[in-house]
Amino acid sequence: MRGHFSQHAGPGPRAARTGPRWGHFLHTPCEITVHYPGRTEPAEGPMQPNTLLDALLDEAGFSRAGLATRVNRAGLARGLPLRYEHTAVARWLKGQRPRGQVPDLICEVLAERLGRPVALGDIGLGAPGEQADRPGTPLSGFVERAAALWRSDEQQRSHVIEAPAVTGTPAVMPVWEWENPPEDADVSRAGRTRVSLADITLLRTARAHYELMYRRCGGIATRTRIVGFLNTETAPLLRGSYNDALGRQLHRAAGGLVAMAGICAYDSDAHGLAQRYFHQALRLAKASGDRGLGAYVIALLVNQSLFMAEYRQAVAFAEAALRAAGTTITPALACDLYAMQAKAYAHLGDGGAALRCIRRAEREAERIHPGREPDETGYVQPGLVNVQVAEALLSLGELPAAHEHAAAAVGSPAHDRGRVHRLAMLCQIELRRGDAERAARTAAAMAEQVRGMESQRLRDRLRAVREHLVASGAPPARAAAELIDGALRVPL
């Protein structure tokens, strides 16, 4: 079904042709402090957890108090009267850089225990440019940092799971560096485990399996399983032996898995962790040489930016994906990117740009051929563009057109969690139109559909719908709100 505003839509916004002004994001004052693991941060900005030190601490079998005691002893041997306790180590793990000679003492203590040299970069306390999980870093170091994060996530380290999402330059730089040179000239590696095509097939099969689990059960239940797989299967393969051609396939398959882990973290309300997984997936996509995979990962960052109300960032990220992927981008992914841009523009109050993006999304939707799409874009199912457009039109106050799109979305086939989101959007629009009775029926169907799913995002959606139902004051709406209360009482 073509949109209500299709006849009014002209060429896309100028930004879609010329690309975002990255300089605006890289030099905007107030929120551009770069956060590197192991650096002391300004009081007003969050620190990044030092996952490298955390992983080595675990490997050495040291408790926080045990490391502090050994650092004190090593300092005493150098004539330094140190009195560190476990609380100091906790601060180091949260990202604070210890002063003076203490970083060298930590390396000395860990090297003695592990029986191998340990450098400052190995414990997350080297030069800033060596510590960020960014596309410009060497692949071998990136793999170790990525694996350290996976290990910390599997062990439920609170300073990793509860870390906030970064904004400003740290959020933008991974996208900028994915889009720009240098490229990886050779991704081959000489490791202990010889990687085969069968190993790559295993990673691809696992990604499809965890995606299906996520759609049926939600990200909370799925995340622990996929992170365990990253640690036991994916990390050893990335550290293995492969030539350049096989390595690119390996990095592509690993990138799809890591992106899925990010989706599950996002669905679990761990936004800083999700962002780091997305940035890792973007680095793996660059190593693979697959621009389409990178554009898909950026679409995930666009979706997260919309959730965090970073609307200008969402527009800029989508522009980067569309521009850098060029002719390699598939219609399904282009459709989703334009639809998300429309939502961002609508929230920014730019109705003209939103409508032009809606028109572009509709054109791309007509070109989708499921058999020609990669596995990752399978989420762009019939009706997805309708629900995205409905949300944009709702923000613009165009209720009849929004209702038309939302009804079309609900009438199209969708996986379980997608259907919940579509019903929620339709219910919200019906309430805005004053049709409490229909909204109550839609809400009841949504409450029934969500049973058995462990998803923080879906619970958020249910709470929002419940608030709208209660605010309407209509008896049918209040009854539907009670059904939602019942669904929300089921613990995750």
- pLDDT tens by residue, 310-331: 999 999 999 999 999 998 999 9
Count CB-CB contacts under 10 A for residue 128.
Answer: 12
Count CB-CB contacts under 10 A for residue 22.
Answer: 17
Is pLDDT above 70 for 492?
no
pLDDT, one tens digit per residue, over 378-417 is: 888 888 889 999 999 999 999 999 999 999 999 998 888 8
Is pLDDT above 60 for 482?
yes
Confidence class of residue 28 from pLDDT cuts 50, 70 and 90?
Answer: very low
Q: Give the position of tokens 């180590």.
A: 89
Is pLDDT above 60 for 176?
yes
Q: What is the pTM of this model?
A: 0.79
> Left if phi > 0, otherwise alpha if psi is -120 to 50, otherwise beta: which for 19?
left
Alpha-carbon distance of 379 to 205, in angstroms, equals: 16
Q: Which of 219, 67, 230, 256 is nearest to 149 (CA)?
A: 230
Percent of the chain with pLDDT over 70: 88
Return the domain boundaries, the chain: 51-131
Residue 328 near residue 293, CB atoms below 8 Å: no
Residue 386 near residue 414, CB atoms below 8 Å: no
Of 256-260, 338-342, 467-471, where does mean pLDDT reach its minimum? 467-471
The set of residues, in sequence order, having a beta carbon less than 8 Å from that of 161 and lying 6+ positions away, is 153, 270, 273
* 265-280 mean pLDDT: 96
Is pLDDT above 80 for 207?
yes
pLDDT, one tens digit per residue, over 69-91 is: 999 999 999 999 999 999 999 99
pLDDT at 399: 95
Please state the separation of Cα 300 from the chain's center in Å.
6
Is pLDDT above 80 for 127?
no
Tell me the chain's radius of gyration from C-alpha atoms: 24
pLDDT, one tens digit per residue, over 136-166 is: 457 877 888 899 899 989 989 888 899 999 9
Q: Give the position of tokens 């040179």.
A: 181
Is pLDDT above 60 for 40?
no
pLDDT, one tens digit per residue, over 233-263 is: 999 999 899 999 999 999 999 999 999 999 9
Q: Which of 330, 246, 244 is nearest to 292 (CA)?
A: 330
Average pLDDT over the chain, rounded to an integer: 86
Alpha-carbon distance of 464 to 467, in angstroms, equals: 5
Beta bridge partner(s), residue 241: 194
One of 1.10.260, 1.20.120, 1.10.287, 3.30.70 is the CATH number of 51-131, namely 1.10.260
Confidence class of residue 22 from pLDDT cuts 50, 70 and 90?
Answer: low
